[in-house]
Every structure is written in structure tokens, then in C-alpha cells.
Amino acid sequence: MLKPTIGIEVHCELKTNSKAFSPSKNTYGEVPNKMINEIDLGYPGTLPTLNKALLDLGIKTALVLHCDITKEIFFDRKNYFYPDIPKNFQITQNNTPIGRNGYIEVQYDGIKKNIEIEEIHMEEDTCKSIHENNHTLLNFNRAGIPLIEIVTKPVISNEKEAVLYLENLREILLYSNISDVKIEEGSMRCDLNISLSETDELGTKVEIKNIGSISAVAQSILYEIKRQTKLIEEGIKISEETRRWDDKTSTTILMRKKETGNDYRYFPEPDIPKIIIDDEWIKCIKKTIPMLPNELKEKYKKLGINDVTIKSLIQNMDLNILLNELIEENVNPVLCANILTADILSYMNKRYMKFNELNVTKENIKDIVDKLDKNEISSKIAKEIISELLENKGNVQDIINKKGLKQISDSNDLLNIINNVINNNIKAVEDYKNGLDRSIKFLMGQVMKETKGQANPKITNDLLIKELENRKNNNL
Amino acid sequence: MSNYLDLSIKEINKKLINKEIKPLDLVMECFNRIEENKEYNTFITLDKENAIKKAKELENKEVDNLLFGIPIAIKDNIITKNLKTTCASKILSNFIPTYDATVIKKIKEKNMIIIGKLNMDEFAMGSTNETSYYGNVLNSYDKERVSGGSSGGSAVAVSRGIVPFSLGSDTGGSIRQPAAFNGVVGLKPTYGRISRYGLVAFASSLDQIGPFSRNVYENALLLNILCGKDEKDLTSSDTNEDFTRLIGEKIDGMKIAVPNFYMSDVVNKEIKNNIENIIELLKDNNVKVEYVDIDYVEYAVPLYQIIALAEASSNLARFDGVRYGYQTDKEVSSIDEMYKYTRKEGFGEEVKRRMMIGSYVLSGKNAKTYYYKALKIRKKISDSFQKLFEEYDLVIGPTTTDFAGKFNEGINDATKSFNDDLFTIPVNMAGLPGMSIKIGEGKNKLPIGLQIIGNKFDEAKMYKLASFIEKEVGGKIC
């Protein structure tokens, strides 16, 4: 049986204010060639500066990926000629990557596995080339934006592991505020190495570059396995080459055959002195790491939030931050999580909005959850209030008053309504007498219908049972 | 025509304060002297219009420092905003920078007046100034001979009295050697003393900008305003001191080392004798002078060929015709072809030779065999000097093994130009300060340079000794 072995290289743009080795701003989508200076253009006489935020985020990445941190680091020059690299060398780390030997845990089909990370290193991004007909346009806004490259060992066995690894990596980098990890904006880019072999010895490696989405990673793995298997079975030797994923045809396309060993003439960057990373520095960075997805999942589970809700919560970092803040303020976590994922999240997703762009405030959410918790409102009313808030802003209590959504909790009022309902549903009462408990639910529903959901569910329930028992015992 | 430029800086300053003269008088004198010395070919670009404009502006300003209104000329590998900066290369023959080097900013802040850009070896690669795209610079003492290099224009411009100051750069001896060949004072400061931001890089870990002057005191004056930490150069150091402060102090009790390596038979006899006379002079003045060995110093030249050229091959990669500078006129069918012709046509032979060697020593397995090994031995040279400075204040010896040679003597010998720098290269390898001062002339009427090497950041001490010797041997003006 041919067994695939996969390694993944991920480049992520780091969330810093300025570029890695120049004071220009780190931006996306600005007017081309505006966020640049002489350093970004590789002008004669310029020298690199060093953005401390690059080092901070490098250390942070090493920490969240469980890497050993290299205590004495320097940068290297990777020399090659290409128009997208203004100095014709890239400042990167070849000799002393900031982190080594890390891992990310993945779980699927009952399997738990650590995807081992070989190394992570810091480097500068190239400029963006746009190829048009017979010429190439260069946008240097991207030149020098700080990157972290994360390289796994060749340990990934299938597309499921690859996807989970990337999803987890993405969540971790997002939650720890290291990168925006927006694949569509190019702030996270994936390259794959894949080889097939019947034995433990690795087969010939094929590289797939610049894959545009996580689902395309899975597709390209499956496609390559099929392509390479067919070739091997036909007795054709796989050649070492670089391919790219083509979304239109859902195939990989040959870019270039590997020439005998690229010679990048690496050597230590003489313009940036060595950097010592001491324990104090690492300790400071540790303090800035918030709870990461895995820890959050554990926490939510303990609080009694169900798995489906947890899954949709984790997908939105803003809502997690909000939920955790509200939990700090002692709101009911389960009710709160339900409201956030059901009502708020679907609204946000439909409109591609962030929480802070909504009309609903954190205070609103707190009010609603508290009132739900105290049974002052029903969940149906809660929904109504939320949709009112989303449309028109406001104060929860005001909406309740204005719309007459206040709960009916007066026993006499409720008893009147209950008796009306019972009298109009003799069949259900008979069912109850014959031991059919579900008729309680039916009758409750009728009460709610009658009161437009304003009946206090708890009191109504108690009164209803009491009245039914009464009729049963007295055979009325 | 007046001759105010022959006065000392202090005297000129007094006349400026007293309004006896105006900065414009000095500038006009400069341009007259440039005209008189045209055949020496010291300048690549003159900035007459701006210099005159600046001089006129200064007439209404208070003379607030010793260098106010003083003309200066700049080696053409130091970036000057809106003033063509060619590195004496065809590939930058049309390059007009958009910014000022940090040293240029400092010079402008002190209201010195930049006269123009000085001739040099192409990209500072050479020791005779014969590799310049703009032609040879003639030796100030003998027009048949080379000026030395790579800062040939910087040395000759001061030596001919065209300007009292110039800036050069020194990667393996490019300030000290032409200073010796033309009888002026040239200092290569401690690595990190002066910001390299805006110095077009040759070998980043060795390059330093430094001052040329007519005498020791004035050299220290110029260094005073050039040095200091620059956030744009991570290798620069935070230093702030008055380098003139020890000048005139007694030198007795100083301990000085003379490396045997610097006094071997490769040295011209006459030069050696002159150095020995200085040693005697010092001993007579209660200075302890001893001959010493410096471990590994004999490897400095091959190390230079590896480290400097490796760094150069990378530093010069950016000249590709894409963003600035010369681009080939040839019809090309690919970007690689454009690179190839641009660089083939744009660079001179010596520069290409050095980039080839540099690429070779970094290539594949060679990086370990040559480059990384060289870094290790470099550290050992540095350690040897450090050990020496635990016992001695300063090191002295000849700046060069010989007098300035005649034209075309070494141009076809790829290794000769490196041997010219036999005594200057170790200083760059160890990141130390080194200077050359004139101590006499040979029978051929050519100047002889004494090299003084100090511990890191010990320039003030070097100026103290240099100034003493200068006075004893009858230096020009003080």
C-alpha cells in the first residue's frame, strides 16, 4: 500500500504596526507603493532597522506552538535575484530559527496526534508582483512586512490531519493576536510537500505552492495522492518538482522541475547584531498570551455549554472575548452562550459584521441573560428583544415596557388563563388523567400562545400541574 | 586671489566671526583651487550652485561653531540628497538620491558647505583609484603616481589644499593608505563610531566612514560632529566625547607596541627607518615602546578576501536596473537577460571579479570551508588585539609597505591590491580605530605615513600621540 507523507510550510504576516526592518507602516489594501521608504526599495546606502514587535511576536509564536526558544539569535541573508525582492536578498533566519521542536495537537475519528513542528523563523515579505501580458507591476507596500514561517516535520498522514493542523494553527495564531491569518488577503499562505512510499523510507517529494484556502489544501492532497499513485502504478518515476493548485480545474499544475539544489548563499546578516533572548523577556511575552482555543473548549465544557455551541463559539474570537468578559461578570454562561451563538452570531454571519459593529451592546446582552436567568422573560421574548435591539438599538427594559413584553407572573391572572385553556382542551386533560405527561407540554404551549409568550414559564408550569392534579384527584 | 583656505580652522573661524571674511570667500577659493588642480581629477560631481547659495544664506546666520561655513568634500559613495552619487560606477552614473546619509545631515546641521563629490575606486574596490569609471586620480606629490585608494579623491583634495576637510570610507585601508600616499591625516574610526546609514555598502561588517584633514587637531574636530548612535544603523554605538581633549597632554608613561609583522622585510627600507626614528623619538620622551607578536594577524588579507568579498557580492546584488541606476539598452527577452546585460555593462572589471569571488566563497559547501571558517579566525585576530590592549595603550607601525606606485603597476595583478593593504586590513578585521599621519618624506619626495592603532573607542588617545608626533616632525599647521 502506498502511504502518503505530508509536510506543511505556513507563512503568516505578523500583526505589527510597522514593517520588520524599516519604520514604514504594515498595511493591507492601501494605494500601491505608498507605504514605502528608501529601505523598502533597497536603495543604496540604506540599512535595516529592527522592529521589536517582530521579535516579541516571534517569541510568542514559539511559545504558543510549544517550541524550544533559541536564546541567541541572528538573521541571515538569503541571496537570489528576483524583481519582487528589492535588495536581491531576503533577510530571514537560516542558522538560528527562533523556535524548534514544537507541535500542534489534532483529534479526529478517535485519534489524538501531535503534529510536530520542525522550526519556526522570522523573515521579511517580498513585494507583490502583478503579471500582466508582457510586463510585471511591482507593489512594494508588502515588501518588508514581517512574516513567521512555520514548518512541520514530514509527519502528516492524510488530508484530515492537514486540515485540522491548519485550522488549529489558524485559531491559535488568531487568538494569541499574532496574525490576522486571512488567507484570502494573503496574510496566511500554505505550501505543501507530499510524497508517497510503500516503505518507511520517504518517496520523491513534490511541492505544491501558494494554496489559497484550507479546503484547497485537502483537495490538492487528495488530487496529488491520486496523481502520484497512478504514475507509480504505471511504473513512472515521480520527479522532484514544484506544482501549484488550480482552483478552476481542481488539479495541480506543474510550475517548474527542481534544479539541482538551489544555492541561496546564506550568510549572517552583518547589519543586524546578535540578539539575546533572556528568561525575563520570555516571561513578559508569556503574560500577553490569552486563553487559547483548546483551553477555552475545556473551560466551556466544564461550564456545561454543549459541544455544538462550543464549536460555533470558537469560530468567532470576538464573541469568545465577549462571553469571557460576561462570565467574569457572573452571567449564566450556558444561557449567554446560547444567545450569542443562536441569535447574535447568525445575524453577524449573514451581514459579515463584527460584534462591535452591531447595535447590540455588551450591557444589552448582560441584561437579557440576567432577565432570562431570573425568569423575568421567556426565551421567546428574549429573541424578540434582541431582534429589536439589532434593528434599532436601545435599552432592554425600555423595550420590555414599550412593547408590553413584561412577563405575567401574577398567580390569579395566570390561573384564569390556565383554566380557560384547560376548559377548551378537554381531550388533553383526559390524556393527562390517563397518564400521558406530554399533554402538560401541549397545554403549556397553549398558555404561551394565549399570552403571546408573556406567561412566566415556571409559575405557569407549577400552576398548571397543580390544577391538573386537582382535577384528576377530584375527578372533575 | 586670497588664500584664506591655508589658514587653520581656528583662524578662519575668528575671521568669520569678525566678519573679515564671508563663507562665500572660502567657497570661491575652493572652486578656484579645483580649477587650478583640475588635472588631478579629484572630483566626480561639483555642487557649485548650491554651495554658493548655502554660503550666501550663512551670511545672515550666527557663526556658532568652529566648522561653520567651512567647505568640505564628500567621497562619492556617501549618499547626498539631490546630488548625484555614483560610487564611481557606470551603474550609478545617473543616480540622484532622495535622502541624505546620517553624516551628511550632521555636516549640514553644523552649516559646513558641501563643495562636491570625490573620485574613488569603483564601489571602493581598489587601492589605487584606477578602477574608477571616471578615471584616475593623480598623486598629490607626483602626478606620475597613483593617489592610492579607494578614497583617492578624498586624500588628494585635502592634500592639494582644495578643501580643508573631506570624508572617506575605509573597508580595508581605504582612508589610511591614500592618506599616507598623499601626506594628510586620515582616520578610520572604531567600527560603530560613525553611522553607516547612507554609506553605499561594500562590506558591511568592515566599512566605516572617516575624516580626512590637514592636521591632527582638525581631524578630531570633524570626528566630534560625525560620531554618535544612529537609530538607523543598528551597529552604531552611543558615544559622545570631545576628541580634542587629550591633545597637547604629556605622553610620557604611555606604553606602545610595535608588531614584528609590521616591521618585516616586506617594508621599504626608507619607510622602516622613518618608523624606527619615531620609535626612538618616543623612547626619548619616556614612552615605553616594545616589539610584539600578534597571533593570526598574518591571515588578515586572505580573511578580507573571503569576508569582504562575500558581503560585497550580496550588497551589490541590488544594482539590477529595476528600481534605479543604469539599465541596459539591449533588447532583452527575459528579466534574467536584463539583469545580465545591465550588470555586465554597468560594473567594471575589478568589481565583477570581486563579486565572483564573493559568490564563490558563499556557494554551497564553500560557505563552511571559507566563509564561516574566516569568521572564526577573524574573532581570533580580534581577541589577539584585545589581549595586546590589556598591556599597551596603542600600537604603531607603517601604514603601507611601500611608497605610492606608478600607474598601471598593479592593475592586472588581482592580489597586489590586497597586499597594499597588508597593514591596514587587520584593523578593520578587529573593528579597531586606525589613523595615518605623515612623518616625513623619502628621497623621492614622497610622503611616509605612520599608522596608529587604538583599542576600540580610544580615538582620543590616538589623537594625543599623533598630535605629539606631528609637532615633533614639523606638521603643516595646527
In a mutagenesis test of the A interface, which of B84, B208, B304, B320 is the best target, namely the one with the most A β-carbons within 10 Å? Answer: B320
Q: What torsion, rounded to 10 degrees, do the Cα atoms B101, B103, B104, B109 define?
A: 130
> Closest partner residue to A272 among B87, B99, B234, by Cβ?
B234
Q: Could you tell me if A48 lies within 8 Å of chain B, comparing CB atoms?
A: yes
Span A458-469, pLDDT tens digits: 888 888 888 888
A131-135, A326-330, B452-456 — which is least confidently predicted? Answer: A131-135
Residue pair B41/B139 in contact (Cβ under 8 Å)? The answer is no
Closest Cα partner for B92 from B82, B77, B81? B77
Q: What is the set of domains in chain A, with CATH numbers?
A: 3-279 (no CATH), 291-403 (no CATH), 411-473 (1.10.10.410)
Nearest residue in A to B198, CA atom: A45
User: What are A435's three cell numbers?
Assistant: 397518564
Span B142-181, pLDDT tens digits: 999 999 989 999 999 999 999 999 999 999 999 999 999 9
pLDDT for residue A437 is more than 80: no
Query: CA B242, CA B217: separation in Å to the nearest integer?
Result: 11
> What is residue A450's predicted lDDT score, i.e. its pLDDT?
82
Q: Residue B296: give the domain boundaries.
A: 1-478
Main-chain dihedrals φ then ψ at residue A417, nearest 5 degrees: -65, -45
* Residue A466: HSE in the Cβ half-sphere, 13 Å Cα cutoff: 10
The conformation of residue B78, written as its DSSP 8-state character, comes to B
The domain total for chain B is: 1
The CA radius of gyration of chain B, in Å to the nearest whole number, is 21
> What is residue B411's predicted lDDT score, i.e. its pLDDT?
55
Helices (H), B247-348: 269-284, 300-315, 335-346
| Cβ <8 Å between A271 and B235 | yes
Query: CA A407, CA A416: separation in Å to the nearest integer?
Result: 15
> Closest partner residue to B320 among A88, A263, A268, by Cβ?
A88
Rounded to the nearest integer, the mean pLDDT of chain B is: 96
Span B8-46, pLDDT tens digits: 999 999 999 999 999 999 999 999 999 999 999 999 999
Per-residue pLDDT band for B410 (boundaries 50, 70, 90) equals low
User: What are B454's three cell numbers?
Assistant: 587604538
Query: CA A359, CA A363: separation in Å to the nearest integer?
Result: 11
* Residue B417: HSE in the Cβ half-sphere, 13 Å Cα cutoff: 29
B-chain residues near A267 (CB < 8 A): 310-311, 314, 362, 367, 371
> What is residue B32's predicted lDDT score, i.e. its pLDDT?
97
Residue B324's H or E segment, with its range, is none
User: What are B106's three cell numbers?
Assistant: 550632521
How far is the alpha carbon of A387 from chain B, nearest alpha carbon, in Å?
Answer: 54
Residue pair B154/B166 in contact (Cβ under 8 Å)? The answer is yes
Per-residue pLDDT band for B413 (boundaries 50, 70, 90) equals low
DSSP string computed for A377-398: S-HHHHHHHHHHHHHH---HHH
Closest Cα partner for B173 from B449, B442, B392, B459? B449
Q: What torsion, rounded to 10 degrees, do the Cα atoms B409, B415, B420, B423 define?
A: -170
Cis omega (within 30 of 0) on the bond before B204? Answer: no
Q: Could you tell me if A259 lies within 8 Å of chain B, comparing CB atoms?
A: no
Main-chain dihedrals φ then ψ at residue B328, nearest 5 degrees: -60, 150
Span B338-366, pLDDT tens digits: 999 999 999 999 999 999 999 999 999 99
- Please list, residue by residue across A114-139, b when 16 or more beta carbons sit within 10 angstroms of its beta carbon and e when fewer do: ebbbbbbbbbbbbbeeeeeeeeeebb
Query: CA B111, CA A78: separation in Å to the nearest integer?
Result: 41
User: What are A150's three cell numbers?
Assistant: 512555520
Q: Which residues lie closer than 8 Å to B48 by C-beta, 6 or more apart? A: B31, B115, B116
Query: CA A347, CA A360: separation in Å to the nearest integer?
Result: 11
Closest Cα partner for B125 from B428, B319, B403, B411? B411
> What is residue B477's predicted lDDT score, i.e. its pLDDT?
41
The conformation of residue B263, written as its DSSP 8-state character, comes to G
Helices A293-302 & A159-175, crossing angle to 10 degrees? 90
Burial of residue B91, with CB atoms counted within 10 A of its CB: 0-12 exposed, 13-18 middle, 19 or more buried: buried
pLDDT for residue B378 is more than 70: yes
Main-chain dihedrals φ then ψ at residue B434, nearest 5 degrees: -145, 145
pLDDT for residue B228 is more than 50: yes
Catalytic residues of B: 75, 150, 174
3-state class (DSSP) for residue A69: strand
Residue pair A74/A96 in contact (Cβ under 8 Å)? The answer is yes
Query: CA B214, CA B206: separation in Å to the nearest integer?
Result: 25
> What is residue B162's predicted lDDT score, i.e. its pLDDT?
98
pLDDT for residue B110 is more than 80: yes
Residue pair A22/A40 in contact (Cβ under 8 Å)? The answer is yes
The CA radius of gyration of chain A, in Å to the nearest whole number, is 30
| Cβ <8 Å between A47 and B335 | no
pTM summary value: 0.90
Q: Could you tell me if B97 lies within 8 Å of chain A, comparing CB atoms?
A: yes
In a mutagenesis test of the B interface, which of A54, A136, A263, A267 is the best target, namely the one with the most B β-carbons within 10 Å? Answer: A267
> What is residue B2's predicted lDDT score, i.e. its pLDDT?
81
> ∠ at Cα B445 (B443, B450), nearest 5°?
90
| Cβ <8 Å between A270 and B205 | yes
pLDDT for residue B265 is more than 70: yes
A-chain residues near B375 (CB < 8 A): 268
pLDDT for residue A476 is more than 80: no
Query: CA A41, CA B325: separation in Å to the nearest integer?
Result: 13
Span B130-141, pLDDT tens digits: 999 999 999 999
**Amino acid (one-letter) located at B211:** P
Per-residue pLDDT band for B321 (boundaries 50, 70, 90) equals very high
Which has the higher per-residue pLDDT, B27 or A412?
Answer: B27
Query: CA A203, CA A104: separation in Å to the nearest integer?
Result: 25
**Amino acid (one-letter) located at A411:** S
Per-residue pLDDT band for B275 (boundaries 50, 70, 90) equals very high
A97-101, A176-180, A420-424, B270-274 — which is least confidently predicted? Answer: A420-424
Per-residue pLDDT band for B478 (boundaries 50, 70, 90) equals very low
The DSSP bridge partners found for residue A209 are A244
3-state class (DSSP) for residue A452: coil
Span A239-293, pLDDT tens digits: 889 999 998 999 999 988 876 667 899 999 999 999 999 999 999 999 999 999 9
Residue pair B177/B204 in contact (Cβ under 8 Å)? The answer is no
Residue pair A218/A51 in contact (Cβ under 8 Å)? The answer is no
Rounded to the nearest integer, the mean pLDDT of chain A is: 91
* Percent of chain B with pLDDT strictly greater than 70: 97
How far is the alpha carbon of B68 from chain A, nearest alpha carbon, in Å?
Answer: 26
Q: Residue window 100-119, chain B: list those with CB within 8 Å of chain A.
A: 101
Span A315-370, pLDDT tens digits: 888 889 899 999 999 999 999 999 999 889 888 888 888 888 889 999 999 999 99
| Cβ <8 Å between B318 and A45 | no
Query: CA B209, CA B225: separation in Å to the nearest integer?
Result: 13
Nearest residue in B to A270, CA atom: B205
* Percent of chain B with pLDDT strictly greater than 90: 95
* Percent of chain A with pLDDT strictly greater than 90: 62
Q: Give the CATH number of the domain where residue B275 resides.
A: 3.90.1300.10
Nearest residue in A to B340, CA atom: A81
Say how many C-beta atoms besides its own lie within 10 A of residue A283's C-beta.
9
